[in-house]
Amino acid sequence: MVSTSRPVLLVFAESDRLYWEFDAKFMRVHRASVAAYEASYDIHVVGQANHVFSFADWQRELLDVSRRWLERVFPAGLDGSVSGR
């Protein structure tokens, strides 16, 4: 996706094995190739969170990160207004 200039947000739970697999099997292996696309993607890790973001604080962080990313990447609202007005 990033090679097509589409913005990507990846949010991982720190205690989820999928985060560690992604890092070990993709990011470390392809670090040089991925570096060319750093402007197209964001990765956020919610500290200590499990796979299903069980606690309210983890869920809040997930939602806050997602909202801020959407506002930054897609600043116009659905009605065409600019965020923050």
pLDDT along the chain (85 residues), means of 10: 90 97 96 92 97 97 97 80 55
In a domain, 15, yes or no: yes
Range of the domain at 36: 2-73
In a domain, 7, yes or no: yes
pLDDT at 16: 96
pLDDT at 3: 85
Q: How many domains does the chain have?
A: 1
pLDDT at 15: 97
pLDDT at 85: 43
Burial readout 11-47 (b: 16 or more C-beta within 10 A, e: otherwise): bbbeebeebeeeeeeeeeeeeeeeeeeeeeebeebbe
Residue 49: other Cβ atoms inside 10 A? 22
